[in-house]
Amino acid sequence: MALETIDIIIVALYAIALLAIAVLVSREPAGHTKDTEDYFLAGKALPWWAIGASLIAANISAEQIIGQSGQGFVVGLAIAAYEWQAAIVLLIVAKFFLPIFLKRKIFTMPQFLETRFGVEIKTIMAVFWITLYTFVNLTAILWLGGLAITAVTGWPILPAMAALAIFAVLYSLYGGLKAVALTDIIQVVVLILGGFAILWISLDMVGGDAGPLAGLSTLMGEIPGHFEMILEPDHPSYGDLPGIWTLLGGLWVLHFSYWGFNQYIIQRALGAESEKEAQKGLAFAAFLKLLIPVIVVIPGIAALWLAQNNVLPMDELSATPDKTYGTLMTMVPSGLRGIVFAALIAAIVSSLASMMNSIATIFTMDIYRDYIVKNASERHYVRVGRITAFVAMLIALILARPFLGGLESAFQAIQEYTGFIAPGIVAVFLLGFFWKRANKYGAFALLLSSAILSVIAKIILPDLPFVLRIWIVFLICILVGVVTSLLSPAPSEDQPVELSGISFHTHTGFNIAAVLIVLILCGIYVAFW
Least confident of 375-379, 380-384, 400-404: 400-404
Residue 322 reports pLDDT greater than 80: no
Label residue 407 by pLDDT band (50, 70, 90): low
| 94-116 confidence digits (pLDDT tens) | 888 888 888 777 777 888 888 88
3-class DSSP state of 307? helix
Least confident of 115-119, 165-169, 398-402, 507-511: 398-402
The verdict on residue 524 lying in a domain is no
| 4-60 confidence digits (pLDDT tens) | 788 888 888 888 887 787 777 666 665 555 556 666 665 567 788 888 887 887 777
The verdict on residue 89 lying in a domain is yes
The verdict on residue 455 lying in a domain is no
The verdict on residue 481 lying in a domain is no
The verdict on residue 445 lying in a domain is no
* Residue in 398, 385, 377 with CA at minimum distance from that of residue 357: 385
pLDDT given at position 525: 87
Cβ partners under 8 Å of residue 16, min gap 6: none
Share of the chain above pLDDT 70, in %: 89
Residue 487 reports pLDDT greater than 90: yes
pLDDT given at position 32: 53
pLDDT given at position 411: 55
Angle, CA 304 vertex, CA 291 and CA 213 arms, to 5°: 50
pLDDT given at position 178: 67
**Residue ranges of the alpha helices (H) in 60-97?**
62-74, 81-92
Residue 64 reports pLDDT greater than 80: no
pLDDT given at position 519: 94
Counting the structural domains of the chain, the total is 1
The verdict on residue 95 lying in a domain is yes
The verdict on residue 366 lying in a domain is yes
pLDDT given at position 344: 76
pLDDT given at position 90: 92
Cβ partners under 8 Å of residue 224, min gap 6: none
pLDDT given at position 466: 78
Label residue 416 by pLDDT band (50, 70, 90): low
Of 140-149, 169-178, 433-442, where does the model show the most confidence? Answer: 433-442
pLDDT given at position 208: 82
Domain that holds residue 66: 32-406
Q: Domain containing 114 — which CATH number?
A: 1.20.1730.10
pTM over cut 0.85: no
Q: With beta carbons less than 8 A apart as the criterion, state whether 442 and 484 touch.
A: yes
Label residue 176 by pLDDT band (50, 70, 90): low
* Residue in 250, 227, 244 with CA at minimum distance from that of residue 80: 227
40-43 contact pairs (CB < 8 A, 24+): 40/107, 40/176, 40/177, 40/267, 40/357, 40/360, 40/361, 40/364, 40/365, 40/385, 41/107, 41/177, 41/267, 41/270, 41/271, 42/176, 42/177, 42/178, 42/181, 42/271, 43/178, 43/271
Least confident of 131-140, 143-152, 465-474: 143-152
Mean per-residue pLDDT, 465-475 = 87
pLDDT given at position 44: 66
Q: Phi, psi (5° rounding) for residue 272?
A: -75, 155
The verdict on residue 429 lying in a domain is no
Mean pLDDT of the chain: 82
